[in-house]
Structure 1
Amino acid sequence: METKEIKALIQAVDASSLQQFAFKNEDLEIVMSKLDSDALHGQASDQAVASVEDLALESKSQATAPAASQAEEASEEEESFAGQVVTSPIVGVVYLAPGPDRDPYVSLGQNIQAGETVCIVEAMKIMNEIPAEYSGTISQILVKDGEVVEYGQPLFEIS
């Protein structure tokens, strides 16, 4: 991704109603979030655009990091959980039920099958159903209904 494309992306996110945005591919990871204060909003976007060159340089250096250290980090994260973990594939607001007056998709101790919907993550006004990647029993619910989640954030633990 070129520097001017990154600048355009930052400006598009800044002009949108999104509060947080994450993008990741094999060479680059971009995470943006807006400040709540209107007074600081313009200052934050100016700083974000000004540091695009730094971000591009940082992403290139991260891409050259040894794969072994990345594998070690991933295994350390996995070791902190006893079972398999369902993570958020996108940044958004998580909903544990299909509607405010409806039962949650899953509950603690419930047996589920791989592919079964466990929650919804709303991003850019689109409701994205999140399927379980594994069959098993819900051993932990790691988020609260209506909570903002990040890309890769653990949502459920399945044992």
Structure 2
Amino acid sequence: MIFLVKNGGTKEIPTGFSWTTFFFAFLPALIRGDIKWGLVMLVGSVFTSGISSLVFPFIYNKLYIKNLIENGYIPKTEEDIDLLNQMDIRYPKEGKQKSEASIINSGKENNTIHSADELKKWMELLKDGSITKDEYESIKAKILQNN
């Protein structure tokens, strides 16, 4: 299992072979809200007379994790980063800090995010253990410095 965090919410994602995709084809993807891959699996099954349904269980969880990371989710712990790297999903050890910096910079460029809301979001990550107190203090200083 890998734990990914975004906006204070944590997702627990299974790794390896997807038994639910093996037994239920495209339905688990649709239930997870992964419309893109659910439709790809459905169309693939139709055009290959179901043969693609034997391939997707081996790759779907990895595709789902990559999609979540592309959409801004970050690993919760160092162990999660190590698991990602073992799965050949390259996520640098300093990736968490890079993600935090990119979120702060996007807030600076797009002034629609108020610094108090930003601090509240990082405080929630601190409370649920996703970041350390030192990381929080560093981010807090950057946010306050940018205003």
Same fold by TM-score greater than 0.5: no
Q: Which gives a bigger RCO, structure 1 or 2 (Cα 8 Å, sep 6+)? A: 2
Q: TM-score, normalised by structure 2?
A: 0.30
The structure with the largest helix share of the pair is 2
